[in-house]
Amino acid sequence: MKVTFLGATHEVTGSCSFLEAGGEYYLVDDGMEQGENIFVNEPIPVAPGELTAVFLTHAHIDHAGNLPILYKNGFRGPIYATPETCSLAGIMLRDSAHIQVSEAEFQSRKAKRAGGEPVEPAYTLEDVEGLMQLFRPCDYGRVMQLSEHLSVRFTDIGHLLGSACIELWLREGETEKKLVFSGDVGNTDQPIINDPQPVAEADYLVLESTYGTRLHGPRTEHLSTLAGYLQTTLDRGGNVVIPSFAVGRTQELLYFIREIKNSGMVHGHDGFPVYVDSPLADAATSVFMQCSMSCLDDEIRSVMAKGENPLWFDGLKTYVSVEESKALNTDTEPKVIIASSGMCDAGRIRHHLKYNLWRPECLILFVGYQASGTTGRAILEGAKSVKILGDEIAVQAQIAELPGISGHADKQGLLDWVNAFTKKPGQIFVNHGDDESCMGFAKCLSEEHGIPAMAPFSGTEYDLAKGEFTRVTEGVPFVRDNAERKRRRADEVFGKLVAAAERLLSLVRASEGMSNRDLGRFADQINQLTDRWKN
């Protein structure tokens, strides 16, 4: 009965944890790293086909983005998630596959010109379509016994539509331990979805720390602040360009703008146009409008009870085609453009930044977390210019951030959620935060709140039954030198091969007492394998 921490260790993205119980193997999340890669992540210690199941906290790419690779490499077990996460994951992973294929085609063209080999995409749409057949919807609040060794329950964590913390009861013999994964803990009093719901008890807790050392600051009145930015920018004839996550944040913005328009908070620009330039956001908005009412907060329910659409208003236009998207940059009418990706490193937002970032009359308004190493983070931190689509673009537009709209709980929000446990965890493992955040928050929990806490690096293992670490690793900095990176990767892969050989030897030794026929067949198969690789 063991947990091994693999991804989002001292980093904000790439969540992935590996569980062992009763001889079965599980993953909680398998996310893609986004932004700057700081530390090397150890690989999943078993082949994908050996995994019994995957549990997914929510649909964001930094939690779900590597699942198609898992499928591509042989995983065929069930993926348990809430119904809303199942729907959103399908949308987001299909979009991700499109990006993977497009990027591989671009890199292949570059490689061909340089006499190199073509680049294969990390995964394709076919991989995603196969993966989606493995999803198993799980309603909030229902305890499901999946095997004699494991039961699970999903609880609304208020970060994204369908997001959940995952409670796992692990059993081996007479020993049972409860391990809780917080997922991404949501901010409170945000529009559309519920606040994070409490969990009663846990033996162990894996807790995120995106804002583990920071507070969001005084609550601002979102409507008046956003209305002020809109008024000022439209008055000077500029565009308001909002890099936004297509799922969650875009829907919140639509709700805010609807309220602003209905209340007449922007003057002199009646019917100002708002463009959501993201096919992904358009599809996600449909999921929001068709989800279970239990996922929505009271305010949204009251709007819908009147027969009104809380995410639509006069002047809203959604664009899907590339031609329509490009046309926005030749249209001189002041407007609001909401486009993804939220960190400005991919998607259509790059085109809109290219045409608006250098214009002093325009506003680039950030409404979400910007990871280290992303274009969005560079702009927000005052870069004089950034490279976009191969061109160096001067940053001359007004740069602003809408405070308090984060989908993540801040330090106090995380503490409030932990303090709501009636039986506090005996050990907290802090992940999903940069090095400063996860180390600082672990220290806060231990020294100020008396709960043992530590921030594991990738590869750290903990025996849940014995309550002790069986392996404690140090962070290995990610090396950008290609030769050194290849050498390290070769060492990792060779180590994986040696581990597989040791498992085979253990299996051989355990086969003593089998029939001579089975032993002979087993030996022949091993000899065939070794002969093939020898040749």
Give the pLDDT band of residue 220 (cuts 50, 70, 90): low
Using the predicted structure, report yes or no on whether residue 395 has a pLDDT greater than 90. Answer: yes
Mean pLDDT, rounded, for 226-250: 94
Q: How far apart are CA 310 and CA 308, in angstroms?
A: 6
Using the predicted structure, report yes or no on whether residue 404 has a pLDDT greater than 90. Answer: no
What are the tens digits of pLDDT across the range 17-58? 999 999 999 999 999 998 778 899 999 999 999 999 999 999
- The pLDDT score that the predictor gives to residue 490 is 65
Give the pLDDT band of residue 229 (cuts 50, 70, 90): very high
Query: Who's near 169: CB < 8 A, 6+ residues apart?
Result: 143, 150, 151, 152, 176, 177, 178
What are the tens digits of pLDDT across the range 268-326? 998 999 999 988 888 999 999 888 898 999 989 999 988 889 999 999 998 778 898 98
**427-431 vs 204-208, strand pairing mode:** parallel
250 Rama class: left (phi>0) / alpha (psi -120 to 50) / beta: alpha
Query: Is the torsion defined by CA of 114, 341, 411, 85 positive or negative?
Result: negative
- The pLDDT score that the predictor gives to residue 487 is 59
Does the N-terminal peptide bond of residue 147 adopt cis geometry, omega within 30 degrees of 0? no
**Cβ proximity of 283 and 343 under 8 Å:** no
Residue 467 DSSP symbol:
T
Report for 199-203, 213-217, 248-252: range of highest mean pLDDT: 199-203
Query: Is the torsion defined by CA of 196, 201, 206, 207 positive or negative?
Result: positive
Mean pLDDT, rounded, for 466-480: 90
- The pLDDT score that the predictor gives to residue 334 is 96
- The pLDDT score that the predictor gives to residue 491 is 61
What are the tens digits of pLDDT across the range 439-455? 999 999 999 999 999 99
Using the predicted structure, report yes or no on whether residue 434 has a pLDDT greater than 80. Answer: yes
- Better-predicted residue by pLDDT, 438 or 406: 438
Q: How far apart are CA 287 and CA 386, in angstroms?
A: 35
What are the tens digits of pLDDT across the range 149-174? 999 999 999 999 999 999 999 999 99
Q: How far apart are CA 273 and CA 289, in angstroms?
A: 22
Residue 316: name the closest of 357, 256, 397, 364 by CA. Answer: 256
Question: What average pLDDT does the structure give for the chain?
Answer: 91
Residue 335: name the closest of 402, 266, 265, 280 by CA. Answer: 266
- The pLDDT score that the predictor gives to residue 87 is 96
- The pLDDT score that the predictor gives to residue 65 is 96
Give the pLDDT band of residue 505 (cuts 50, 70, 90): confident
- Look at residue 339 and give its three-state secondary structure: strand
Using the predicted structure, report yes or no on whether residue 481 has a pLDDT greater than 80. Answer: no
Mean pLDDT, rounded, for 349-368: 95
- The pLDDT score that the predictor gives to residue 482 is 57
Using the predicted structure, report yes or no on whether residue 347 has a pLDDT greater than 70. Answer: yes
- The pLDDT score that the predictor gives to residue 127 is 97
Mean pLDDT, rounded, for 368-376: 84
- Look at residue 41 and give its three-state secondary structure: coil
Give the pLDDT band of residue 478 (cuts 50, 70, 90): confident
**Cβ proximity of 433 and 424 under 8 Å:** no
What are the tens digits of pLDDT across the range 87-112? 999 999 998 998 899 888 988 998 88
- The pLDDT score that the predictor gives to residue 486 is 60
Give the pLDDT band of residue 488 (cuts 50, 70, 90): low
Give the amino acid at 251.
Q
- The pLDDT score that the predictor gives to residue 219 is 67
Query: Who's near 333: CB < 8 A, 6+ residues apart?
Result: 273
Q: Is 266 exposed, middle or buried (0-12, 13-18, 19+ CB in 10 A)?
A: buried
